[in-house]
Structure 1
Amino acid sequence: MRFVLGSASPARLGVLRAAGIDPSVVVSGVDEDAVAATLTDPSPAELVTALAAAKAEAVTREVLATHGDAVVVGCDSMLSIGGAMVGKPGSPEVARERWAAMAGRTGELLTGHAVVRLTDGRRDGLATGSHATTVRFAEPSPDELDAYLATGEPLGVAGAFTLDGFGGWFVEGIDGDPSSVIGISLPLTRKLLAEVGVSVIDLWR
């Protein structure tokens, strides 16, 4: 059985490989804003779970013909800070604004996951869920923040920070699952795999 990761995130891929799984990667290409626009006043957990499910479904349509027995995993992460849900900043200016709001405060990193099981080339199960982890941010100096933004790292990650890269210098602690903050929650993924009848140990390489 193949494990198909519906994400281009190198951090998610790294977490899985370090945990014994060598997934196939198929990028979903889902328009996240369009998916979010179809939802009526979703909670943060509902939003990230719906986005993860949309990605898993898009990838499932791609791999049905080539992966007879597989699990497809879609993920989405956003940061809740000051009552606002934020994703990837995309530009240094937006990332700087995010850090102005985050520095010295706490935020909640929400990750939604969706697992689709394929058996003999057909859909055979779906499980979805989310996980929230509290992140305690440090206060980088102006020079530190300039240098961090110059790395480019915060521009393409949810909340404009990482735990496992340059951003780790500016995270004072977390309350929850560290793998979820990096991008894919191993405990939640294990639980969702079990819900569709797959044991994670059978996927270890």
Structure 2
Amino acid sequence: MRIILASNSPRRRELLAQMGVDFSIDVPDIDEHDASTPQDTVRALALQKARAVAARHAGERSVILSADTVVFAGEILGKPRDREDARRMLALLQGRWHEVYTGVCALHVPDGRHEVRVECTRVRFAPLTGEQIDRYIGTGEPMDKAGAYAIQGRAGMFVERIEGSSSNVVGLPMATVRELLMAFGVLL
């Protein structure tokens, strides 16, 4: 059975490749919007991404795998719009706990059977100065990341504690992906 990753994220590609899964990429084109809760947001967007890609592969026998990640710290934090938005997000996260939610969807083509799971990881950031935040933003790293940081990059030094899946914070909770793929008959 063919696996199609519905994502443009290099981090998700790397994580799926680490599992030894043979897959292709098909990037969905959807309008992203926030729902009322972070769980509802990632669940809805993961399913929307999978359905958008599945529509282009009708008649094939494949499993579409998609994901969406947001950070929650009293408000839903997606990718920053600009440097000022990144600064605002990092100032909000510094010195406190926040949650990272990832919705993962596996959708079987051609029958449309699907399952969506949501994973939550708690992360605590160290206190940061404005200068530290500005230096990090200057690297460009936070600009395409939910919550304006990459735990697998330079922002890893900001993390004091993590409770849950570290791969979830990167954008693809590997244990959840393994369970979903196996449930859809993919041999790992």
Structure 1 stretches lacking a partner, 5+ long: none
Instruction: Name the CA shift for 1:23/1:173 in 2 (closer, same or farther; >3 Å).
Output: farther
Instruction: Name the CA shift for 1:43/1:142 in 2 (closer, same or farther; >3 Å).
Output: closer
**Within 2, Cα distance between the matches of 1:107 and 1:8?**
25
Q: Give the one of 63, 82, 94 matched to 1:91.
A: 82
Q: Indicate the residue corresponding to 1:150 in structure 2.
A: 138
Q: Indicate the residue corresponding to 2:154 in structure 1.
A: 166
Q: Does the residue aligned with 2:41 lie in a helix, a strand or coil?
A: helix
* Cα RMSD, aligned residues only: 1.6
TM-score computed with the length of structure 2 as normaliser: 0.93
Match runs of 1:106-185 below 5 Å? 106-118=97-109, 122-123=110-111, 125-185=113-173
Q: Indicate the residue corresponding to 1:57 in structure 2.
A: 51
**Within 1, Cα distance between the matches of 2:96 and 2:135?**
20
Q: How far is 1:15 from its partner?
A: 0.9
Q: How far is 1:169 from its partner?
A: 1.5
Q: How far is 1:195 from its partner?
A: 3.1
Q: How far is 1:87 from its partner?
A: 0.4
Question: Percent identity among equivalent residues?
Answer: 36
Runs of at least 4 residues off by over 3 Å: none
**Within 1, Cα distance between the matches of 2:17 and 2:182?**
19
**Within 2, Cα distance between the matches of 1:173 and 1:91?**
27
Structure 1: which amino acid aligns with 2:6? G
**Within 1, Cα distance between the matches of 2:100 and 2:120?**
6
Work out the number of aligned pairs and report it. 188
Structure 1: which amino acid aligns with 2:153? G
Q: Indicate the residue corresponding to 2:26 in structure 1.
A: 26
**Within 1, Cα distance between the matches of 2:126 and 2:117?**
29
